[in-house]
Amino acid sequence: MDEGSNELKISKKTVRPRESNDSLKRKAIRLLVKICVIAGLFVVIFGFIIGLTTMSGVGMKPNIADGALLIYSRIEHSFKRGDVVVFEKDGKLVVQRVVAEGGQTVDINEDGEVLIDGNVEEETVYYETIKDEKAAIQFPYRVEDGSVFTLNDARSNLGDSRSFGGVEISKISGKVIGKIQVRNI
């Protein structure tokens, strides 16, 4: 027999060395840094740029139902008629629609129409607008500069600027930019 034919063929197995403790520590530190960066981004985004709140009550019905999740921009600082804003009133976040800006005069006529500077406001209203006879303000009401006049969409619900007057822009948390309607299933 040929010496070359009696050779044993030995297959080489690739043996991976066990990862060292230093390598595992570096991976753990990298993971921890990534988690901290992501958590920091969430804090910045949801602490300074975007806010979340749920609609409580039926004041904005039918446009925003009770329990809807609202997303609002905290970086918005100028508000115009039609904007839905979030602000704090008596320790609670309140959601209402801006109907007049600083310097404008608001009135409500006998037919329940909202007048801005003497002109009937063109809007879709599902409920009759009434005056709050026990309110601290008198109509016609002039909105102070740096404030807005807000109303609920459900105009028969008081508890908006008809009761307490204008809302200072500096006290507004933000402008609603989206909603997620929640339904009972």
Assigned token pair, 170 = 């500096």
pLDDT tens by residue, 57-85: 888 888 888 889 999 999 888 899 999 99
Task: Examine the pLDDT at 3 and tell me if it is beyond 60.
Answer: no
Asked if residue 6 is part of any domain, the answer here is no
Asked if residue 36 is part of any domain, the answer here is no
pLDDT at 72: 94
> Do 32 and 38 form a contact (C-beta atoms < 8 A)?
no
Asked if residue 94 is part of any domain, the answer here is yes
Per-position DSSP letters for 105-165, written without gaps between them:
EEEE-TTS-EEETTEE-----SS-----TT-SS-SSEEPPTTEEEEE-SSTT---SHHHH-
pLDDT tens by residue, 20-58: 667 888 888 999 999 999 988 888 777 778 888 989 888
Instruction: Give the amino acid at 76.
Output: E
Asked if residue 63 is part of any domain, the answer here is no
Asked if residue 27 is part of any domain, the answer here is no
pTM above 0.85, yes or no: no
Q: How many domains does the chain have?
A: 1
Buried b (16+ CB within 10 A) or exposed e, 82-106: ebbbbbeeeeebbbbbbbbbbebeb
3-state secondary structure at position 65: coil
Asked if residue 155 is part of any domain, the answer here is yes
Asked if residue 86 is part of any domain, the answer here is yes
CATH of the domain at 152: 2.10.109.10
Domain that holds residue 167: 76-176
